[in-house]
Amino acid sequence: MKRKPFNKVLVANRGEIAVRVMRACRELGIETAAIFSDADANAIHRRYADESHHIGAAPPTESYLQLEKIVKLAADVGAEAIHPGYGFLSERPEFPEACAAAGIAYVGPPADAMRAMGSKLEAKRLAGENGVPVTPGSEAIEDVKLAAQTARDIGFPVIVKPSGGGGGIGMKVVERDADLIAAIESCKNAAGAAFGDPTVYVEKYVHNPRHIEFQIIADDKGNVVHLGERECSIQRRHQKIMEETPSPALTAEKRAEMGQAAVRAVRAAGYINAGTVEFIFSEGQFYFLEVNARLQVEHPITEEVTGIDLVKEQLRVAAGQALSFTQSDVSWTGHAIEMRINAEDPVRKFMPNPKRITRWVQPAGPGVRVDSGFGPGSEVPPNYDSLVAKLIVHGADRAEAIARGKRALREFVLVGPATTIPYHQAILESPDFLAGKLSTRFIDDHPDLLIRAKEHLGEVSPFDYGADPRHIAAAAAAVAALTASTQGA
């Protein structure tokens, strides 16, 4: 058996992803150091780690985004590596550079690869030069009139995108020439404010596309492997809320073709460690979208169908070890779905609803996994992403995975904040979802989901004893009896 990759790892994140990384470390015999902000003083990830260190005030800019402070802390506590998780600093090339300068391993891609893939325009150019299909579009927009002519040449509708960021921020779909200039200016302003880079470009908008991504992992020995696709078309405002694997749209032949394209794209960038190559898929054709140079939120469904622990593999690669498997070793069994349980109120336009969790019982049973950094009594802070838990289900096929998803959602007790649980229940009941008729417009095209979600609001989990009137009545009777006996005494 190979030696453990590191003796101690600092996890530069919070919530469920911090706990997920620490679990892998514990199984490998690696000590962990956590960082926490004022808002996370009682968080589970702090208690789970072998040691924890206060990093700053609640705002991310004063805590989880304090790059120099985090790297210095890692050196001070003797951590040999830093795992960035996702979000926060995870896609900033300055992070691996600072780690290298301090003699600390970074559990992620090198800075050069991150820069090459961090610019969507550069990544698109690199992909196209290596035989990966790309959507027709412009270079960085410097001349608005030239951009307008490009849009006319490729045909409306087009989409204006920031080059330096993700999450759908700033993106504008333009249906007609008259709206293009205003959309470009709006996108530039949003990109400059969000990413510090106002560079934008125009490309052809693909109607009713599916969003399909491929998980890859590479070591520094020249081995690059893909672990299959994830269907990520269920999105709200360009933010994924549910993912599944395999995609109902892909044949084995198309999966192999797209997987090979993903491998070519990252190999060209000199990529090392885990990452995700995202594609737009429509009418049997696929087009390169971008590369996420980090571990993805939805990585658990890939783990469920392949049996490969991606975090352990990340740690081994970061320590200079070769991948423990080859492409021919990878196989896929069954079907998996992930539902992001957010502290948001679907009935009130998905308004964030950070509150204290008063009752919590997570679902269990065959094929059910819950990744979370919260539990009973946890405070859901307003300072960060609203993700409370990831509910992952795995079945022998898609039908069984959906049935398990419905069952697990019914069992989940999460009382305090309003959550997206009833909305996920509505999605799993949708005839179009059941038929695999998906696109990135699925949410927009199914406003009836909100009606069905409201119908689920009054339902009570069979595991929620706190909501059972019989138990409430029994508790009240016990209190009354105790009061009476005390008064009698």
Kindly list the averaged pLDDT for each block of 10 residues, start to end, along the chain of length 489. 85 98 98 98 98 98 98 98 97 97 98 89 90 86 78 88 75 87 87 82 88 98 98 94 98 97 95 97 93 96 98 98 97 98 95 96 98 97 97 98 98 97 98 97 96 93 79 48 48
Distance from C-alpha of 96 to C-alpha of 272, rounded to nearest angstrom = 12
Looking at residue 256, its pLDDT comes to: 97
Catalytic one of 92, 230, 236, 294 = 294
CA-to-CA dists, residue 44 to 57, 62, 209, 282, 431, angstroms? 18, 20, 39, 42, 38
- Tokens (6 digits) for 43: 């968080």
The answer regarding whether domain 136-204 maps to CATH 3.40.50.2300 reads no
Q: Tell me the CATH number of domain 8-107, given options 3.30.1300.10, 3.40.50.20, 3.40.50.970, 3.40.50.1390.
A: 3.40.50.20
Looking at residue 477, its pLDDT comes to: 54
- Listed in order, the ranges of the chain carrying CATH 3.30.1490.20 are 136-204
pTM listed for this prediction = 0.90
Looking at residue 167, its pLDDT comes to: 63
CATH superfamily of 210-456: ATP-grasp fold, B domain (3.30.470.20)
Looking at residue 143, its pLDDT comes to: 75
Looking at residue 472, its pLDDT comes to: 46
The yes-or-no answer on residue 267 being catalytic is no
Looking at residue 482, its pLDDT comes to: 45
Distance from C-alpha of 186 to C-alpha of 347, rounded to nearest angstrom = 29
Looking at residue 2, its pLDDT comes to: 60
- Listed in order, the ranges of the chain carrying CATH 3.30.470.20 are 210-456
- Tokens (6 digits) for 431: 């005839």
- Listed in order, the ranges of the chain carrying CATH 3.40.50.20 are 8-107
Please list, residue by residue across 132-169, b when 16 or more beta carbons sit within 10 angstroms of its beta carbon and e when fewer do. Answer: bebbebbeebeeeeebbebbeebeeebbbbbbbbbeeb
